Structure 1
Amino acid sequence: MIRVYENEDITKLYVEFRPKFQECVVERVLKFCNEHQQSENDNQDLMVDVACGSGQAASAFQKHFKRIVGIDVSTNQIKEARLANEYDNIKYEVGTAENIPLGENSVNLLVSATACHRFDLEKFFTEAKRVMKPDGCMALFSYNAPRIIPKNVKDPARRQELSDKTTGILVKYHDIVNDEQSNVHQNNKYQDIYKNIYAENKQWITEDLVMKRDWNLEQLIGFLRSLAAYQEYMKMMKEEHKDASEEEVKKWDRAVLLRDFVKREWEMEEVKDEDVMMEAHFHVYLVLANKLK
């Protein structure tokens, strides 16, 4: 497993700026489960969220299961998840995708959100089959950089132009540095992962699941800083330029560059970050599987 979200700084950014998964994703997953599992009541017992981070997916499914266990390799992520947890039926434990701390044939639904592209997939699928019930379901889903749409720009053509440019920059900064496995799986929207799952029933969804959030510039910058790509890039650059001044760092700090671009191109240089409003559209892609072989 590739470990990138473990230090305390990034986990705090993660819990504050990563979007929680919306009901449209939950409904699509549960629809698949109800179509392929033997009993609708039976599939409400136990869900496990593998590489749960600070609980964005686990909390989204909270009302649909009697018990939910979120596991993550990062003790800092588990700490943040526990601090944010408001539900008696969710608990968080340290664990890995390749060694899930649950018994055999115990899980009705196994979920992994924005994470499985970093797993040792062969070991993960073996472990998933071990813990899932014979008719259990799996849902693996993620999103890439969101489309950013200015809300303060009235002219439709200008709004589209700025949306394309801003989203293009965010996509460029979204790539994981020196992580070819993650890049491949995310760029093809989990197509290879879907092909490599052996199951009696499976489905690959890449269209029509869009989570929309009202954001401001402060939240956009926070999201960027929560990405492994940003953290790894900044670490690499600081190691290469150990004597760089604060002003020199700003020239290649992607968060600063993105903020400057938005303020300049959106003609909002005198506006506070929290007042620069936008929509963020996260296009979710989803792999569903039932009865692993």
Structure 2
Amino acid sequence: MAHRLFEGKEHAASYWKYRIAPSDHLIQQVLHFLEKQEGQPFELAVDVGCGSGQGTVLLANHFASVVGIDVSPAQLEVALGHATAPNVTYRQCVAEELPFSDSSVDLVTAMSAFHWFERPRFLQEAHRVLKPHGCLALLNYTIDMKLNYSGCCSQELNQVCQEFYAALRPYRSPHLGHSSVELYRQALESIPYPDKEWQECVWVNRSMPLSSYIGMVESFSSFQALLRENPQQASQLSRDITQKFLSVMKVTSPEAEVVVGVRYFYLLASKPAGE
């Protein structure tokens, strides 16, 4: 069974507030790959492990219908609370049992979620529901984000980032193994489709307050594991790291804007005709 995380109401709210969605460039790469394989019009996209829907809504302008799927009622409640596009709907179910008929879906996506699924079962299920020439798109980003602040030494700033990540490393889920990138690369190798695309290093810069960067890291599973085990230690870690950032940046407010470099990677695969 897939790992069930990110299900509390407070965590779901922070997920919407702090988690980042793929850039327009990344979404366009997915759509370009799908158009090469299948051609337009695009009818149905299914975003599996959609969380609070930040990525789901990015597909609304490109498909007749988009369905976000998640196991968490709290996450879906947040997604529905921010729903505006009439062609986007949400359904609660597990990733390994999708409520769609065989060969009915143009695009199956999982944005920063595939690593939590029971991966072989999900890949079989994605194969079942995809149309011939339909596409599977698995996108994710690594935790090793980099910060930049005008007038500040980037090396010093990112030493603090590394300290933050190192403190959380012991709380990383064993389900994720040593490297999420490696999990996705293994999936790429296991998918028997001839038409596949792999990109391991796409840097996207995001401007946000330092407090939002801290909030994003706090929403990660490793920080949440620490928070469950020792709330006082988790809170102290956030305070200490924030203070170190402020000291390096020579500012007093965590609302100071920083540029966060996020390293994405993705896997695209097209189901062959006749399967």
Q: What residue is the counterpart of 1:114 in the other structure?
A: 112
**Which is greater in Rg?**
1
Q: Give yes or no for the alignment of 1:69 onto 2:67.
A: yes
Q: What residue is the counterpart of 2:217 in the other structure?
A: 224
1:185–1:196 CA distance, 2 compared to 1 (3 A)? farther
Q: Distance in 2 between matches of 1:28 and 1:174?
A: 32
Q: Give CA-to-partner distance per residue, 1:118-153, whole Å, 9 cap, x none.
A: 111111111111111122100001001253333242
Q: Distance in 2 between matches of 1:210 and 1:174?
A: 22
Q: Give yes or no for the alignment of 1:204 onto 2:202.
A: no
1:285–1:251 CA distance, 2 compared to 1 (3 A)? closer
Whichever residue aligns with residue 235 of structure 1, its letter is R
> What are the residue-to-residue correspondences of 1:165-244 with 2, within 5 Å?
165-173=159-167, 175=169, 177-188=171-182, 190-207=184-201, 209-238=202-231
Q: What residue is the counterpart of 2:249 in the other structure?
A: 266
How far has the Cα of 1:227 moved from its partner? 1.2
Other structure's SS at 1:188 match: helix
Q: What residue is the counterpart of 1:291 in the other structure?
A: 271
How far has the Cα of 1:224 moved from its partner? 1.7
Q: What residue is the counterpart of 1:282 in the other structure?
A: 262
Asked if 2 retains the 8 angstrom alpha-carbon contact of 1:97 and 1:124, the reply is yes
Other structure's SS at 2:263 match: strand
Asked if 2 retains the 8 angstrom alpha-carbon contact of 1:6 and 1:74, the reply is yes
Asked if 2 retains the 8 angstrom alpha-carbon contact of 1:145 and 1:170, the reply is no
Q: Give CA-to-partner distance per residue, 1:171-201, whole Å, 9 cap, x none.
A: 3356482522324351437211211222131
Number of equivalences: 272
Whichever residue aligns with residue 155 of structure 2, its letter is E
Q: Distance in 2 between matches of 1:196 and 1:176?
A: 29
Q: Give yes or no for the alignment of 1:46 onto 2:39.
A: no
How far has the Cα of 1:36 moved from its partner? 1.7
Q: Distance in 2 between matches of 1:175 and 1:199?
A: 34
Q: Distance in 2 between matches of 1:140 and 1:52?
A: 12
Whichever residue aligns with residue 154 of structure 2, its letter is Q
Q: What residue is the counterpart of 2:3 in the other structure?
A: 2
Root-mean-square deviation (Å): 2.0
1:113–1:251 CA distance, 2 compared to 1 (3 A)? closer
1:58–1:251 CA distance, 2 compared to 1 (3 A)? closer
Gaps of 5+ in 2: none
- TM-score, length-normalised on structure 1? 0.86
Q: Distance in 2 between matches of 1:103 and 1:118?
A: 24
In structure 2, which of residues 236, 244, 251 is the aligned counterpart of residue 253 of structure 1?
236
Q: Distance in 1 between matches of 2:130 and 2:199?
A: 22
Asked if 1 retains the 8 angstrom alpha-carbon contact of 2:173 and 2:221, the reply is no
1:35–1:175 CA distance, 2 compared to 1 (3 A)? farther
Q: Distance in 1 between matches of 2:157 and 2:133?
A: 44
How far has the Cα of 1:237 moved from its partner? 2.1
Q: Distance in 1 between matches of 2:40 and 2:234?
A: 55
Gaps of 5+ in 1: 239-248
Q: Distance in 2 between matches of 1:6 and 1:176?
A: 22
Q: Distance in 2 between matches of 1:254 and 1:195?
A: 38
Other structure's SS at 1:49 match: strand
In structure 1, which of residues 92, 98, 102 is the aligned counterpart of residue 96 of structure 2?
98
